[in-house]
Amino acid sequence: MGNLDLDFFQENNYTTKNNSRKLIDKLFLNTRIYFVLKYIQQIFISRRIALRGKYDRKAWAVTSHNVVKLIEDCGGKFHIQGFDNFRNCNEPVVIVSNHMSAMESMIFPALIAPFMETTFVVKESIAKHFLFGPVMRARDPIAVARTNSREDLIYVMKKGKEFLEKGTSVVVFPQSRRREVFKPEEFNTLGVKLAKSTGVKVIPMAIKTDFWGNGNLVKDLGPIRRDREIFITIGKPLEISGNGKEQNDQIVKFIGEKLKEWEKN
């Protein structure tokens, strides 16, 4: 645990400031090709550091924050609430979030890693990917094959417990895949089960990240939609009681209500 000496987000809430770049820069920066090229460049930089064995928690947070700044340069506007729920956390937790696009995988380290050691539950294919793999493996993820749900559950419970017991928080996306439309029935109880089995709390996160769309040919390189602002709310820690159903229902309700609220903006 322990905060890193990084000043990305010093207040409880963060909103992107108006971009003051020159008009000619704005015209160029607002192109999808610029976004894709700079994003891939950031991945290669991270990959190179990872292959040298130096991609530690701070490097992960810094390169992730560079993606946040890239998104802002390309017209993305963030509204993030609740950093104090990470900042004041002095024990490992399970972080549970809905999953909408590639964005959260890239920006969550900038939001979480400055405040706590963390790892992700990810698809095994990402950990083995030529480009993304070295970066992901450098941060020691819990990689699941997603071919046998029972085996995946057993593995996540085993590895997740090991991480939590040594003070590392675990990020779980309980949906089976990215969804721009939130479907509560697809939101499984994995995060709550892991927290209950280890006696830790759950921090829910509600996100709206469809600024970064899912691509048809390359899923991670979809369109950018500058008319869609980015909303993220970090909830208060929840203590799991009983079988955890009540808390899981709270998390689903929290995410659903936030998404409805943001759709009105």
User: Structural domain boundaries of the chain?
Assistant: 13-263
Q: What percent of the chain has pLDDT over 90?
A: 59
In this prediction, residue 128 carries a pLDDT of 84
Q: Which residues of 17-36 are buried (b: 16+ CB within 10 A; e: fewer)?
A: eeeeeeeeeeeebeeeeebb
The Cα 107–Cα 8 span in angstroms is: 12
- Tell me: the pLDDT tens digits for 115-155? 999 999 988 878 888 888 888 898 989 988 866 778 888 99
Each residue of 168-182: b (16+ CB within 10 Å) or e?
bbbbbbbbeebbeeb
CA dist 104 and 208 (Å) reads 9
CATH class name, domain 13-263: alpha beta
Residue 214 neighbours by CB distance under 10 Å: 18
- Length of the chain equals 265
Least confident of 97-111, 137-151, 186-200: 137-151
CA distance 152 to 27: 46
Per-residue model confidence (pLDDT) at position 231: 97
pTM assigned to the model: 0.91
3 state SS of 83: coil
Residue 29, pLDDT > 60, answer no
Residue 27 pLDDT class (50, 70, 90 cuts): low
CA–CA dist 224, 36 (Å, integer):
10
User: What pLDDT was estimated at residue 167?
Assistant: 95
pLDDT at residue 19, rounded to an integer: 63
DSSP 139: T
